[in-house]
């Protein structure tokens, strides 16, 4: 006989639920506050604990956390009951360790079904991609910039031309919608996709280079993630401290945002990548770890119509490691080799989008910050025989005039055949071969 522990301070409700569960064959233990409930849980190890949220002496969150911290109660399932129908309370309960959150008044049939499901060992089904997703027209690969700024969004009259939103680039290739990074620019991309495809289901792949704020902060405002018929597959590499899912979920915890990542109605999957090469439909993607604090990659997207390389944050090794003057030759040689590997990764790309946050003077003040000086970026692109270079991750203190001056300077350095542009919001580039 399965056992349930009922922790509820309302006497009438406790008796009523207890009697109903007994009728349905459950062995019932009951407690009228959290502290007494925890003592009974440790003593009898019930299959399920049904626990009220707001109770004297120990609230439901505390009960959940205490149960989850008790190894002998590892298999005990927890159902939280609450009179409060706020998504943030539900999220807090799930994060504290509850398996279910039911809002009062709870129908006896609903509670009974929940208990049976939780104790039957059933695994919830994984989300399935949309059955008839919108068809993305074929054609040459296309890139559109939705956020080009680095570090922090910087809207205002001074940044109107290039834009103030942080890192987000859309690539359409081989019938796929691939989104690079989820900085604040992803908000406008989401609105645009919703409008373009009206109500057709979408399959979207989001590739994250890393989880610094300027690369993930827009995700909670990405409307396609709120549409149940859409599938959003998020791919990236594990962070330095914790997994990708934990990091993305953390920015949506209730102190920061009213809707939790797990509560988003869209089919969201988060996959931590292990291999440095993988497919998105017919598009081959390669990744490379770059020189930036924490774990950070660049992506190379290889479609039949052309290639796009995205390296939004990177500090070229040579200029960084050859400081101060007189650095030993072994270190300098190592730095050269590392830059050489990057050049090979980029080699022959049709479009290169690359961190060019500083000029050479500013760089001197920012050595070890993880960003590039424009001189090095043009040099790398030239040596890699790239066709089009887009300066990216503009410094938040650089106004339009300053970015334009950096662009003019970059063009003056570029080798023949290399087209240089500064990325700006709304700019589209189509690969023509
Ligand atoms: Zn960044
Ligand atoms: Zn970063």
Instruction: Select the more confidently predicted residue: 112 or 412.
Output: 412
**CA 305 to ligand 1 centroid distance, Å:** 28
Do the beta carbons of residue 225 and residue 266 sit within 8 Å? Answer: yes
Answer yes or no: is pLDDT of 184 > 80.
yes
Do the beta carbons of residue 141 and residue 306 sit within 8 Å? Answer: yes
Residue-level pLDDT at 117 = 86
**CA 239 to ligand 1 centroid distance, Å:** 14
Per-residue model confidence as pLDDT tens digits over 227-276? 999 999 999 997 767 789 989 999 999 889 999 998 899 999 999 998 99
Per-residue model confidence as pLDDT tens digits over 7-45? 999 898 899 889 988 988 899 999 999 999 999 999 999
Answer yes or no: is pLDDT of 126 > 60.
no
The pair of three-digit structure tokens given for residue 205, joined into one six-digit string:
């792949």
Residue-level pLDDT at 408 = 98
Residue-level pLDDT at 128 = 59
Residue-level pLDDT at 282 = 95
Nearest to 153 by CA among 182, 188, 184: 184
Ligand at shortest distance from the CA of 293 = 2
pLDDT confidence band for 59 (50 / 70 / 90): confident
pLDDT confidence band for 209 (50 / 70 / 90): very high
Angle at 247 (CA atoms; ends 243, 253), nearest 5 degrees: 135
Residue-level pLDDT at 122 = 60
Measured in degrees and rounded to the nearest 5, phi and psi for residue 118 equal: -65, -30
Q: Give just the sign of the alpha carbon dihedral 110, 75, 273, 289.
A: positive
Q: Which residues make up the environment of ion ligand 1, defined by Cβ < 5 Å? A: 150, 214, 313
- CB contact set of 56 (below 8 Å; sequence gap of 6+): 9, 33, 34
Nearest to 164 by CA among 397, 386, 360: 397
b/e string for 121-144 if b means 16 or more Cβ within 10 A? eeeeeeeeebeebbebeeeebbbb
**CA 164 to ligand 2 centroid distance, Å:** 16
Residue linked to tokens 């300053």: 402
pLDDT confidence band for 164 (50 / 70 / 90): very high
**CA 309 to ligand 2 centroid distance, Å:** 17
**CA 166 to ligand 1 centroid distance, Å:** 8
Ligand at shortest distance from the CA of 292 = 2
Answer yes or no: is pLDDT of 125 > 70.
no
Do the beta carbons of residue 172 and residue 156 sit within 8 Å? Answer: no
């Amino acid at each position: 006989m399965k056992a349930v522990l009922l922790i509820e301070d309302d006497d009438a409700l406790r008796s009523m639920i207890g009697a109903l569960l007994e009728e349905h064959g459950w062995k019932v233990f009951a407690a009228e506050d959290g502290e007494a409930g925890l003592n009974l849980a440790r003593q009898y190890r019930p299959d399920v604990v049904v626990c009220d949220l707001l109770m004297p002496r120990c609230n439901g969150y505390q009960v959940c956390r205490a149960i989850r911290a008790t190894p002998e109660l590892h298999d005990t399932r927890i159902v939280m009951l609450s009179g409060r129908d706020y998504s943030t309370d539900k999220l807090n309960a799930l994060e504290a360790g509850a398996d279910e959150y039911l809002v009062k008044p709870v129908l006896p049939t609903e509670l009974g079904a929940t208990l049976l499901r939780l104790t039957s060992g059933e695994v919830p089904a994984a989300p399935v991609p949309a059955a008839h997703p919108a068809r993305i027209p074929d054609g040459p690969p296309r890139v559109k910039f939705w956020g080009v700024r680095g570090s922090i969004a910087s809207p205002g009259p001074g940044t109107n031309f290039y834009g103030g939103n942080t890192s987000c680039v859309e690539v359409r290739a081989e019938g796929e919608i691939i989104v690079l990074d989820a900085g604040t620019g992803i908000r406008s991309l989401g609105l645009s996709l919703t409008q373009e495809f009206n109500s057709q289901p979408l399959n979207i792949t989001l590739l994250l280079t890393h989880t610094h704020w300027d690369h993930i902060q827009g995700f909670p405002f990405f409307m396609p993630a709120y549409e149940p018929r859409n599938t959003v597959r998020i791919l990236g590499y594990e962070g330095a401290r914790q997994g990708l899912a934990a990091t993305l979920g953390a920015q949506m915890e209730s102190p920061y945002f009213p809707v939790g990542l797990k509560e988003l109605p869209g089919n969201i999957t988060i996959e931590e990548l292990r291999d440095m090469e993988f497919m998105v439909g017919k598009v081959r993607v390669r990744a490379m770890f770059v020189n930036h604090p924490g774990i950070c990659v660049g992506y190379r997207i290889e479609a039949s119509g052309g290639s796009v390389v995205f390296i939004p944050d990177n500090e070229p090794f040579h200029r960084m490691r050859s400081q101060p003057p007189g650095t030993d030759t072994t270190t300098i040689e190592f730095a050269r080799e590392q830059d050489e590997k990057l050049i090979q990764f980029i080699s022959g790309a049709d479009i290169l989008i690359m961190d060019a946050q500083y000029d050479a003077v500013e760089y001197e003040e920012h050595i070890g910050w993880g960003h590039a000086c424009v001189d090095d970026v043009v040099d790398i692109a030239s040596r890699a025989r790239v066709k089009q270079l887009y300066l990216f991750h503009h410094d938040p203190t650089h106004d339009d005039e300053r970015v334009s001056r950096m662009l003019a300077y970059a063009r003056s350095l570029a080798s023949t055949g290399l087209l240089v542009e500064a990325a700006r919001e709304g700019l589209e580039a189509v690969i023509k071969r």
